[in-house]
Amino acid sequence: MLKGIPKILPPALLKALCEMGHGDTLVLADGNFPAHTVGKNAVVVRMDGHGIPEILDAILQLVPLDTYVEKPVGRMQIVPGDPVETPIWDVYDGILAKYDARGADTIEEIERFAFYERAKGAYLIIATGEQALYANLLLQKGVVTD
């Protein structure tokens, strides 16, 4: 047990976050994301019982977003014509604003298959039980200064 570490983060995830360097990417994958297929060359940590917002909030308590790039967060763009709503995106905007002054301006929308290709280069994929559609996020780790 450690003080100051969000209890939701399991030891395997803490280890992977520590191993990441500046500019490395992690994916927060919803329950439909092919985490093990896309993550063949990545560390895959399963957190099936949790949603992305609570994990995102916990991670951003420990890991800064990259300030050397304009858009350190990527989210999967809605496929044109797909009649879905994405209220989870508003939740993400609030969480990002809590930890980074750029807030929603940190987010780049990435076409679905381009998102998968970028995710293949991620160091870490966190497979969650998130049920919201188009809930996947890419985060680029920044420099830890304190």
Compute how many other C-beta atoms are within 10 angstroms of the C-beta atom of residue 141. Answer: 21
Residue from 66, 92, 123, 134 carrying the catalytic annotation:
66
How do residues 85-136 score in pLDDT, each as one tens digit?
A: 999 999 999 999 999 999 999 999 999 999 999 999 999 999 999 999 999 9
Q: What is the mean pLDDT of residues 43-62?
A: 98
How do residues 9-43 score in pLDDT, each as one tens digit?
A: 999 999 999 999 999 999 999 999 999 999 999 99
Which positions ≥6 away from 22 have C-beta within 8 Å? 66, 68, 141, 142, 143
Residue from 93, 99, 105, 116 carrying the catalytic annotation:
116
Contact status, residue 127 vs residue 14, Cβ threshold 8 Å: no
pLDDT band at 66 (very low <50, low <70, confident <90, very high): very high
Name the token pair of 138: 């890419």
Residue from 22, 36, 68, 82 carrying the catalytic annotation:
22
Active site residue 99: no
Name the token pair of 71: 């858009």
Contact status, residue 54 vs residue 8, Cβ threshold 8 Å: yes
Domains of the chain: 22-140 (3.40.1650.10)
Question: What is the reported pLDDT for 146?
Answer: 77
Contact status, residue 68 vs residue 145, Cβ threshold 8 Å: no
Which positions ≥6 away from 55 have C-beta within 8 Å? 8, 9, 28, 47, 126, 128
Angle formed at CA 110 by CA 139 and CA 85, multiple of 5 degrees: 95
Active site residue 68: no
Active site residue 116: yes
